[in-house]
Structure 1
Amino acid sequence: MCANHKGTQKYKEKMREGGITHSNHFRVFEDLTLSSIGMGTYLGNLDSKTDYLIENAVISSVNNGINVIDTSINYRMQKSERAIGKSLKTLEDNGFNRNQIFISTKAGYIPGDADLGMDPQKFISDIVLAKNLASRVDIRGHNCMTPKYLGYMFEQSLANLGLDHLDLLYLHNVAESHKSKVDDKEFYEMLENAFRFLEGKIRENKLLFYGMATWECFRVDPVSSYYLNLKKVYDTANKAAEKVGNKQSSFKFVMLPYNLAMPEAHNQKVQNGKSFLSKAQELGIGIFTAVPLLQGKLLNHPQLREMTKKFGVKTKAQAALQFVRSYGEPIIAPLVGQKQPEHVKENLELVKIST
């Protein structure tokens, strides 16, 4: 089961009827009703204490108006996915249905496995090479995009999360890892092959959507070796869909940084004369934004004090989140890393405030 229209709409109604969220807290995209704040799970120690904090943060978030949970198989060497899996089981036991919660994860980086004491290098030798998932030349910057490797990671993520379907799988920093090391033709062939694998999972009804989680490639100048043209990526996805027999591509999401200190997605016209966000809206791509607090570094930004007054919020962190949350289309939600109970509580206060 995946997130769906009926489930996510029911979640919204439950939150509004309980007086938990503001009337315009939720966004509708691709027939799904999604919270305008999402929870990320990137940072943290490789220990059971952090697992416990993440589990409780996910449960508290879903209980209080956040139904978008983001992770990656390499976050905390697979432990973040596993912590979310435990949270989802608890939430199900407490009356939440799987179809109410939108789960995204990522594939690409070699994750290692903290629970098996396996670092990424050992994972390469004992899993990737031993199982013939890829050759060494396919691995660049500890990142791999072969269909066999992606297939193995896909099944591992399902197992970690305790799911039989994924809502959204991102290819993780594919341009940042590979594009400067191969020519354009080879890069786009690699990308199309990865997209064909993902379109195959769509066809098998094991995946709802796919996208790209990025850092630089959609924000930099076209002369950069990392640069990607969103329309060309979009067309590559459509070509991949056609080749596997799908009527249209399910490439529907991009994640990238956007915050007060990193405004390039909005103000740099590097996508055929348009900003990235403008081009994404034109193509019908939904955006989740990374690092809305820049891992805490943004809290000293000089504009935040004034923004707390402008947005009517209490803290600088809330102002930084509200800056992104109030952008409008095509941004669906900022994804904020939160595990300490006091930070979860602080961030959740925003769900009661208009976007």
Structure 2
Amino acid sequence: MVTKEASWAYRDAFGEEFARTYFRRFGPGVVSSVGVGTYLGDPTDAADDRYERAVREAIESGVSVVDTAVNYRAQRSERAVGRAIEAADVDREALLVATKGGFVPFDGDRPDDAAAYVREEWFDPGYASPEEMVRGNCLAPRFLDRSLDRSLENLGLETVDCYYVHNPETQLEERDRGAVYDLLEDAFVRLEERREAGDLRYYGVATWECFRVPEGHPNYLSLPEVVRRARAASDRAGTTATGFRAVQLPFNVHMADAFTREAHPGPDGPQSALAFADGAGLSVFASAPLKQGELAREGAIPGEVAAKLSGETPAQRAINFARSAPGMTAALVGTGSPDHVPENVGAGRYEPLGADAFDSTFE
């Protein structure tokens, strides 16, 4: 797992190549503020090869954050990440490797009969039940147990550095908010136990919209309440302090609600998700900084905003917008081809916006 000593040594090896704030604190160590995402792409051998080469090149070029999930590309993304880490000339303990559990993962490809696969692989062995599953999402502790075991096997690692509960707001389609908080607390208890066993270092939630929408929205979850449930889970598990340390959410120039919408109770009134996370000591990781490639096109970033951002290309400017948000640890850039690695990594050679300049983009 990532260690203070190895992460700082990695920073020292690459630090001169990047702008001053490129490396940022995570736990006792530091990580790069540009990370690799592995969501997009077909479940094919050719895509596997591209991902493996891209991840390896990225982590050998100054990117120390790799994000994946057991269900991405039918478990193939995790396996490609594992091979890349093994092959790279980089100390594994310098890397923050994050993965997620919560959705049923297919194995290698989508089966012809998906319902039969879920029944045989997940329901019949008792890892989940139909009543616990909502659109392929399940938060039951035994389901997450099995998912984490598969992730460790796929990645070839003894420990993952951050394990996310994946899109818990999916459960709100069939349950009230209180019931979903209860499910999360039970899930966190199990993750606290797996943390004590050494299978994960930290955990968190990876979300799509629950922290970005107004309080009255059907998919809203309160970040302060989720943190409170994590602390309660730590008490129930008997751990000395909660391992809940990270939040992942979309953030880009067209999806900046985590900064602009004050939807979470704070000590002095409503706060944005980013403001609350910063005050609570949580690391925040931005998914979709390029909005799945849309912001890599010339003209996709509003001209008055683009003019304030540093970078040679639209993609670099979009990455640097996400990196500029107060409290943001890293922007996770989907990197399914080694051809994109130099451009993405190159964004880190430019300073992000300062706080006042970032605020001014919303005026």
Deviations along 1:70-121, one digit per CA (max 9) or x if unpaired, are: 0001100100000001101101xx3x22111110000001111126957653
- Structure 2 match to 1:269: 262
Q: Shift of the alpha carbon at 1:307?
A: 4.6
**Equivalents in 2 of 1:37, 1:180: separation in Å?**
33
- Structure 1 residue 199 and structure 2 residue 196: aligned? no
* Contact 2:259/2:325 (<8 A) preserved: no
Match of 1:259 among 252, 275, 280: 252
* Contact 1:39/1:61 (<8 A) preserved: yes
- Structure 2 match to 1:25: 22
| Letter matched to residue 126 of structure 1 | E
Q: 1:57-206 alignment to 2 at 5 Å? A: 57-91=54-88, 94=89, 96-114=90-108, 120-175=114-169, 177-206=170-199
Match of 1:250 among 240, 243, 246: 243
> Could you state the TM-score of these two structures normalised by the residue count of structure 1?
0.93
Match of 1:325 among 320, 323, 326: 323
**Equivalents in 2 of 1:303, 1:115: separation in Å?**
35
* Contact 1:110/1:120 (<8 A) preserved: no
- Structure 2 match to 1:316: 314
**Equivalents in 2 of 1:271, 1:187: separation in Å?**
17
Tell me: CA distance 1:119–1:74, structure 2 relative to 1, closer, same or farther (3 Å). farther
Deviations along 1:104-153, one digit per CA (max 9) or x if unpaired, are: 00000111112695765343111111211111111101111111111111
* Contact 1:108/1:172 (<8 A) preserved: yes
**Equivalents in 2 of 1:74, 1:171: separation in Å?**
12
- SS of residue matched to 1:114: coil
Q: Shift of the alpha carbon at 1:300?
A: 5.6
| Letter matched to residue 153 of structure 1 | S
Q: Which moved more, 1:101-110 or 1:218-227?
A: 218-227
**Equivalents in 2 of 1:340, 1:207: separation in Å?**
28
Q: Shift of the alpha carbon at 1:20?
A: 3.0
- SS of residue matched to 1:261: coil
* Contact 1:22/1:353 (<8 A) preserved: yes
Equivalenced residue count is 347
- Structure 2 match to 1:215: 208
Gaps of 5+ in 1: none
Q: Shift of the alpha carbon at 1:338?
A: 1.1
Deviations along 1:175-197, one digit per CA (max 9) or x if unpaired, are: 1x102311233222211110101
> Could you state the TM-score of these two structures normalised by the residue count of structure 2?
0.91
Gaps of 5+ in 2: 353-363
- Structure 2 match to 1:56: 53
**Equivalents in 2 of 1:216, 1:81: separation in Å?**
24
- SS of residue matched to 1:236: helix
- Structure 2 match to 1:43: 40
When the two chains are superposed, the root-mean-square deviation of aligned CA atoms in Å is 1.7
- Structure 2 match to 1:5: 4
Deviations along 1:1-43, one digit per CA (max 9) or x if unpaired, are: x101011111111113xx4333331001221211011110001
* Contact 1:304/1:316 (<8 A) preserved: no
**Equivalents in 2 of 1:169, 1:288: separation in Å?**
13
| Letter matched to residue 271 of structure 1 | H
Q: Shift of the alpha carbon at 1:305?
A: 4.6
**Equivalents in 2 of 1:84, 1:118: separation in Å?**
26
Identity %: 33
**Equivalents in 2 of 1:312, 1:276: separation in Å?**
25
Tell me: CA distance 1:58–1:270, structure 2 relative to 1, closer, same or farther (3 Å). same
**Equivalents in 2 of 1:320, 1:116: separation in Å?**
33
- Structure 1 residue 337 and structure 2 residue 330: aligned? no
- Structure 2 match to 1:226: 219
| Letter matched to residue 323 of structure 2 | R
Deviations along 1:207-244, one digit per CA (max 9) or x if unpaired, are: 11000000110111111121111111101000000011
* Contact 1:308/1:314 (<8 A) preserved: no
* Contact 1:104/1:168 (<8 A) preserved: yes
- SS of residue matched to 1:310: coil
